[in-house]
Amino acid sequence: LLFLWSITVSIFGIGGLLGSSGSRYLTVKFGKKKCLLCNNVLMIAAASIMGCSKIAQSFEMILIGRFMCGISAGLCVPLHHQYVGEISPKKLRGFANSTSSFFWSLGKAIGQISGQRELLGTQSLWPMLMASCGLPALVQLITLPFFPESPPYLLMHKGDQEGCKKAIRQLWGEGHHQADIDDIMKEKATMKNTKILSVLELMREPAFRWQLCMIVILTATVQLCGINAV
């Protein structure tokens, strides 16, 4: 029983590792908006499987649902930050990216509060608690089609300058946006001359060793700050 509980908890992280590892390939091939839409479908499917696990009397459904949730979360973190940053005007880009982290933390807090025994953490309501992760995905699945694809993706990966201009006008309103398009073109030219490193190549590259060590240490110390105890 202890082994099953441990696997149920940790399989979310395994799914997250797989999801985040495949995010770069998927975003380049299909675009950030399409990936987010498909990711929402995956999360809704995972929520439905976990929500029906009690009726089906199957703990395996919880394992499968947690694994799918992990993949969805692993895809969502880089996708969401990139998409929000790229569709925001330059003066609001930093603010938009910081709100992503705020709502990520808020979601965790709401989940922990909802899991109390006075709310949804009861023997009869826990399936609803596990299925509740599908609600934000459903909201995004309904609203996201009204947003355009990321302008940098349209210009840099698809070479669609007219589509890029149309997306910018839809997002930022009518006006002179040539300077923003020029910035994207400069970034595209820079990327052509820049080699994209794999994870192993990044770990072996001496020039990035100290930066990598700092990121690993900072991320690891988050686990020691008391948030898990809280």
| Domain extent listing, the chain | 1-147, 195-229
Could you write out the DSSP letters of every residue in 56-123? HT-HHHHHHHHHHHHHHHHHHHHHHHHHHHHHS-GGGHHHHHHHHHHHHHHHHHHHHHHTSTTTT-ST
- 87: exposed, middle or buried (Cβ count in 10 Å: 0-12, 13-18, 19+): buried
Is the model more confident about 15 or about 28? Answer: 15
Question: In 194-225, which positions are buried (b, 16+ CB within 10 angstroms) versus exposed (e)?
Answer: eeeeeeeeeeeeeeeeeeeeeeeeeeeeeeee
What's the pLDDT at 48?
A: 93
Choosing among 3.40.50.300, 3.30.565.10, 3.20.20.105, 1.20.1250.20, the CATH entry for 1-147 is 1.20.1250.20
What's the pLDDT at 50?
A: 92
**Averaged pLDDT of the chain:** 85
What's the pLDDT at 185?
A: 78
Q: Say if residue 71's pLDDT is above 90.
A: yes
Structure-token match 């703990």, residue found: 59
pLDDT digit string (tens) for 103-132?
A: 888 888 888 899 898 898 888 888 999 999
pLDDT digit string (tens) for 147-200?
A: 888 888 888 777 777 888 888 888 877 777 777 777 777 777 777 777 777 778
Q: Say if residue 40's pLDDT is above 90.
A: yes
What's the pLDDT at 229?
A: 65
The model carries a pTM of 0.80
